[in-house]
Chain A
Amino acid sequence: MQYLTNIFFIIALIAGIGFFVMNIKKLSRNIKLGKDVNRTDRKSERLKNMMMIALGQSKMVKRPFSGFLHIIVYVGFIIINIEVLEIIIDGIFGTHRIFLGVLGDAFYGFLIGTFEILAALVFVAVVIFWLRRNVSNIKRFLSKEMKGWPKNDGNYILYFEMVLMTLFLVMNATDPTFQQAGIGNPISQFITPLFDGFSADTIHAIERTAWWIHILGILVFLNYLYYSKHLHILLAFPNTYFANLNPKGQFNNLESVTNEVKLMMDPDADPYAMPEEGAEETVPEKFGASDVTDLNWVQLLNAYTCTECGRCTSSCPANLTGKKLSPRKIMMDTRDRLEEVGRNIDTNNGVFVDDNKQLLNDYISPEELWACTSCNACVEECPVNIDPLSIIMDMRRYLVMEQSAAPQELNMMMTNVENNGAPWQYNQQDRLNWANEE
């Protein structure tokens, strides 16, 4: 009988972790649907970014209030999880507070005491976060794209954290020997009196229940990540590591275009030349992006990493002036479409079957894409170094180069550049007139 709980624990643990690993595999397969881009250079700079931005939260604190609260939750959550190690060992071997004997009263008390204080702080911070999302009028939490699932997702995460923190404290409060020892209970000692008058058996049952729900809750939460914006707690690390290191104004030069332009400009090239042997089969490369598989894997990793915080959108000049464009929505759409493509592959035994849908039009409209001023405010703001602008640009490229679907005024501008070497209709021969006017 006694072993039954241990066995049940082990099964739950394996199932929880197994399911998580399965989801991570799916995640990585989906990200690899993206085109290749080399981000393996400048390793030390990348490592530094990851340490500063993901671990050190250096961009979070640019907005001090929410940044500070976020650090509490982040640090608290990570440190408290050390306690999970003890829970796992206890669960497998049927021990109770195994670390107490190993670490000794003083150190164990210090650790658990710290966890308790952190748990209380996390609880308070999470409540403030909840109020910010649901009660106060913060514009970036009220946008169109935050209706439905994204809004609920944000709240579910907060509820999860509130419940987990509470369970941790209750578990300590209902452990009489732990309370009697009087070590490491700076918060839970104030909860213990709530259970005065309960029988020893009831208190023990409450303690066991809290213990079990706590660990099962953690396993459920771990698996919830894949479906949630909370994935950022893991992906912020690779995402900041692989982020673009070039100046933000530098857009990539499409190599496929370079080859064609060189050919066009080469006076010796023979336009009627037969394609080389074996070259007939190659499908001409698509210029720009109309679907997620045209994007590169870093852009897809970006989409999964997005925390939907909306800092990008709240600094976007187009969005601030009432245009449809929202860089956060660009990222959310990319993730939603990628998930759809992934599910399509899963249900069709590993191959994608055309579903007559794509990222362009079905998710992101040209109107949104054309409203972008390429100002890089979104890129600068993002606390985890996501680059919504690169996706916007790749999709514009598709619109222009594959569909000739630029707004009329831009077509005129481009015709002028082509014919007069300037975006306006001036004569090239008048280019130096400015020097002699006044």
Chain B
Amino acid sequence: MNVPTMADMMAQGKQPEVLFWVGAAGSYDDRAKKISRAFVKILHQANVDFAVLGTEETSTGDAAKRAGNEFLFQMQAMMNIEVLNGYEIKKIVTCDPHSFNTLKNEYPSLGGKYEVYHHTQFIQNLISEGRLNIDNTSLKGKRVTFHDPCYLGRANEVYESPRDLIRRLGVNLTEMKRHKETALCCGAGGAQMFKDAEPGNKEVNVLRTEDALKTNPNIIATGCPYCNTMMTDGIKFKEKEAEVVVKDIAELIAEANNL
């Protein structure tokens, strides 16, 4: 698929409307790569002039920061800021709430000031600007529950954008008992994704999957590649793969629009 890089743009003397920050998961993780592609399809459909950094993109340092390694985080941040500022980037969109949070909140005081959007916010804007329509028939009647990613929800109080998009799909949005401010973490945050859990009596992702299963969903919608992994593993653990799928909102929209 056509994914222009900033270097290409620069060579042609062009400045895109927005930079798509893909993130490590979206670039390398097989499951998350599908989310990146789904989002790009949506960008294409809405004729958004975008670019990625490609091989010039590197870890935001978010995971290192949550693990306590402030040095590594700031090294990564300063490297990224140098590249981003070099390309005079103003606007960034990302499918990863962790990148979203750190770029939006933690980069500014290090010299990186950008307008940062989570992809659900960005898509919502495309719709309100009349640049994109969502087909509300193909998924009609499906039961969908949305798992709030901590770094989108509590961390940045974005609760409505993903829900608004889900409602536009014509599906039946059912809420888990713990949702929005009281949502339970999927277990991946704070660098937990990269290590085994401490001794306990259950895995966090299993507990959260149980929350979701109580709503009898056909689809568990997420807005974060790490939540996606965690919930997918939870569904496997519960042996519910036949009945329930875990999908990013971008994938649902791409599916609804036959992209």
B181 at the interface (CB under 8 A from A): yes
**What string of 1s and 0s marks CB contacts (under 8 Å) between B60-88 and chain A?**
01011111111110111011000000000
A429 touches B109 (CB 8 A): no
**Please, how many angstroms separate the alpha-carbon atoms of A431 and B101 in the complex?**
21
- Residue of B110, B154, B157 touching A253 (CB-CB under 8 A): B110
Chain A nearest CB, measured from B111 CB (Å) = 10
Task: Select which of A248, A323, A414, A432 is within 8 A of B55 by beta carbon.
Answer: A432
**Does any Cβ of A come within 8 Å of B132's Cβ?**
no
Would you list which residues of chain B between 34 and 67 have a CB under 8 Å from chain A?
Answer: 36-37, 40, 52, 54-55, 57-59, 61, 63-67
Question: B198 touching A422 by the CB < 8 A rule?
Answer: no
For the complex, give the distance between the alpha carbons of A317 and B209 in Å: 13
A325 to chain B, nearest CB (A): 7
Task: Determine how close the nearest CB of chain B comes to the CB of A164; give it in whole angstroms.
Answer: 35
Q: How many residues of B are counted as interface, with CB atoms below 8 angstroms from the partner's CB atoms?
A: 72
A389-436 contacts to B, CB under 8 A, are 393, 396-401, 406-407, 409-410, 412-414, 417-418, 421-424, 426, 428-436
Contacts A321-B200, A377-B184, A422-B28; is A413 near B71 (CB within 8 Å)? no
- Closest Cβ of chain A: how far from B122's Cβ, in Å? 18
Q: How many A-B residue pairs have CB under 8 A?
A: 224
Q: Which of A257, A380, A438 contacts B70 (CB 8 A)?
A: A257
Q: How many residues of A contact B (CB 8 A)?
A: 70
| Chain B residues with CB under 8 A of A417 | 59, 61, 63-64, 72, 76
**With contacts A322-B200, A322-B202, A412-B194 known, what are 11 further pairs, Cβ within 8 A?**
A258-B110, A315-B184, A317-B208, A375-B184, A375-B189, A377-B184, A406-B68, A410-B191, A413-B63, A414-B72, A437-B37
What are 10 sample pairs from A and B whose C-beta atoms fall under 8 A apart? A253-B109, A317-B187, A371-B200, A396-B68, A397-B70, A417-B59, A423-B193, A432-B52, A435-B1, A437-B33
Residues of B in contact with A (beta carbons under 8 Å apart): 1, 3, 5, 22, 24, 26-29, 33, 36-37, 40, 52, 54-55, 57-59, 61, 63-72, 74-76, 78-79, 101, 104-106, 109-110, 150-151, 154-157, 181-182, 184-185, 187-204, 206-208
